[in-house]
Amino acid sequence: MVRVALYARVSRPDKNQNGEKKQTNENQLLKLRAFATARAYAIIGEYSDEASGASPHREGLERMLKDAYAHRFDAILIVRLDRLARSTRHLLNLLSDLQGYGVDLVCSDQEIDTKSPAGKLLFTVLGAVAELERELISERTKDGLARARAHGKRLGRPPKPELAEQIAELRAQGLSLRQIGEKVGLSHQAVKQRLRRARVQNRVGKAG
């Protein structure tokens, strides 16, 4: 018999004019219980959250994932994918974790089952979408940096004059670049760049 966990989430419980809740996790759980019963699944546990999908911490979801890791059930039942994940990337990461635990995901309203060929295709498509999303973000970042450089904008933290003076003093004392870096909390390459910049500024100052 397939052992399943039920998961439900609402962003917040809506209320009618009488102050009674209209949207609750119980509505989703009723549907999931009926779905499991119709397929003779054994319900091992029920988990729920009243939180935004964008919330980084959901107690019910976290408990369920711990139990999935412990192999307490074979599949997770949800009504729709948006009840589980806050983004495509988040969903892909969750599916990857569940796959590693040997736990499948089944959606009652969207006819998604990761045990089926269509479910495996969904996993592949989601992976491709997430990879494309990462590449687009990377390209936008690179383009933004290139535009900033083209307009003469300095990137990164502005140099601190007092730090440059400290580096120059330590260098005058005969310390190596690596030793200076350890003292001021920079890499030896960063120390080298600051020394080079200081020499250029000194030459410009003298020429002026």
pLDDT digits (tens, 9 = 90+) for 20-56: 555 688 999 999 999 999 999 999 999 999 887 666 6
Which of residues 70 and 20 earns the better pLDDT score?
A: 70
pLDDT at 32 (0 to 100)? 95
Counting every residue written for the chain, the total comes to 208
Indicate the pTM of the whole model.
0.57
| Separation of CA 107 from chain center | 23
pLDDT at 171 (0 to 100)? 87
Supply 6's token pair.
Answer: 């039920």
Query: Residue 7 — pLDDT band, cuts 50, 70, 90?
Result: very high
Q: Catalytic residue among 11, 55, 87, 187, which?
A: 11
Q: Which CATH architecture has domain 3-129?
A: 3-Layer(aba) Sandwich (3.40)
Ramachandran region of residue 156, left (φ > 0), alpha (ψ -120 to 50) or beta? left
CA distance 72 to 22: 32
pLDDT cut 90: percent of the chain above it? 27
Q: Which amino acid is at 76?
A: I
Domain ranges for the chain, please list them.
3-129, 161-201
Which of residues 62 and 153 earns the better pLDDT score?
A: 62
Could you confirm whether 11 is annotated as catalytic? yes
